[in-house]
Amino acid sequence: MVTSLALAALAELAQEGKLSADIEHMAVTSNTGIENPVIERHVGSHLRAMRTFCGEHAIPLKAQWALPSLAESWQVSVLGGRRQMAWPSEGQSQYCSVDWKIKPVDALKRQHAESLPKGVRQVTLLGSRFEESARRAANMADQGADSGVVEHQGRLLAYPIADWTTSDVWDYILFAQPFGQGGPFPSYAASLADVLEVYNSANGECSIVGDSGKRTPCGARTGCWACPYAGKSDESLTNMAKDNPEMAPLLALRQYIVSLRHDVGARNFIGTDIKDGGDINISAAGYSGRVLLDLLRACLTLDAEEMERSDNPAFQIITPQELVAIEWNWAIRGIQVRPWEATRAWVEVHHQGKRFPIPSASTAAPAQAGGQSLHPLEGETLGSVTTPLMAHAGVTVATGSRLEVDPEGAMEMLSIEGDMLAADTEKAPESVANSLLMRGVVSIPASRRGELDRRLTAVARLREEGVMQWAFHGGRPELASNEFQLAMVG
């Protein structure tokens, strides 16, 4: 709505000849990569409407999605085995909001600010309102939100609807009319009534005034489909699935993911981050290779079934680029016991037509974890990894500023070489990393080569000792048999 007000104001300035063509404006919204498909379609349609409106009124504006980096995305960081889901009420930061929303938006804002003419500063328009909560009101008051444009921590901010009530918001949404038609609520869109429809779908019903004014009307949650913060059951997602059957599989997959919260056996406790002195900690990092493979197969199956359902799929959970990045992560972390396991899953689903069901929900409860902390354990290590670094003499690899996967190269590799790679079950799993680098499909910063060698050396050592086999199946090492303990110190 703030965007709608801003675009109407810019259109008025353009009509009066007071809008500079040299200053580009920006409308940005985050896309985590696991957005609720209904919300993604809804927001996407409004971004297109903004572009059309600005083209018609000669407003220089870029309306775009802010996407997380490949390495930080849910697909690569969680399915790639680097970390687990961000769970509520565990004293940990909600990294998902930071990495998938705040950082991508901030990155685009920095780019925009750097593109502005000298002497022109960026002003960020925010939709926060005093009425939303006492805490929000206090924070806004500290920033001087009712004083027009304010400077806070080096940024210029403005709160156009700071004093609006909830009823004011819904009046604007329900009665907005296209700019130029003389209505009291001008908008870039033909109508904003579809906003109400989305909330109605998520809530099951949507009253315009909350109970006694104490509850925000249309308070449905419309976040990521995999988000565990909604609790054991996501009522908004459940309600939307009634009118949007394509969302039912995503809801089922979410329920499985949420069920893993207390399942110690679903975790990989063997790290590959090498500490000073060569030690490797035992700690609950991401999920075990077994669980990750099940999750990847389920995601690929949902993608394939959605493509069969519609010529215009509502979602694609795993792209070729993300699949290759997952393969990379599995290789450098020793996640799987066979090489090319992610590629093999892609081939089985997309080439061979196999389908893998969503696994049965875990029934593990906190007590079944044996009362053990899932945080890193002080002093517990797998011993010093001192074997020589892997040699790469004569090999030229692509380098970049960060982990990058060539989208076209990834698709070509899976399409042309996928069947051949999937048939390779004999090579060491960690050898996949070098293969991806030599193909030029994956590139890493040149400064990370030494770290990569150390990591791959550690993975090879742990595999030779039989430790990675245990890590694949999951669970705390001390809960395993004596055989594991012998392998660990061998």
CA dihedral 316, 322, 326, 329 (to 10 degrees): -150
| Best CA proximity match to 314, nearest among 322, 326, 301, 305 | 305
d(CA 2, CA 164): 11
Residue 41 CB: number of other CB atoms within 10 A? 16
Residue 229's alpha-carbon distances to 32, 94, 222, 234, in angstroms, are 15, 10, 12, 9
Phi-psi region at 112: left, alpha or beta (left = phi > 0; alpha = psi -120 to 50): alpha
Each residue's pLDDT, cut to its tens digit, for the chain (490 residues) gives 899 999 999 999 999 999 999 999 999 999 999 999 999 999 999 999 999 999 999 999 999 999 999 999 999 999 999 988 887 765 555 788 899 999 999 999 999 999 999 999 999 999 999 999 999 999 999 988 988 899 988 899 999 999 999 999 989 999 999 998 988 899 999 999 898 888 777 765 554 544 444 444 444 567 799 988 877 888 888 888 888 999 999 999 999 999 998 888 898 887 766 666 666 667 777 899 999 999 999 999 999 999 999 999 999 999 999 999 999 999 999 999 999 999 999 999 999 999 999 999 888 766 343 333 323 323 344 444 433 333 333 444 455 558 999 999 999 999 999 999 999 999 999 999 999 999 999 999 888 888 888 889 888 888 887 888 878 888 765 544 434 333 333 3
pTM check: above 0.75: yes
| Pairing state between β 61-66 and 25-30 | parallel
Q: How many Å apart are CA 269 and CA 286, to the nearest integer?
A: 8
Instruction: Determine the Cα–Cα distance for residues 365 and 359; give it in Å rounded to an integer.
Output: 17
Contact, 347 vs 418, CB < 8 A?
Answer: yes
* Residue 224: partners with Cβ closer than 8 Å, 6 or more residues away: 32, 34, 35, 36, 74, 96, 100
Q: Determine the Cα–Cα distance for residues 315 and 306; give it in Å rounded to an integer.
A: 7
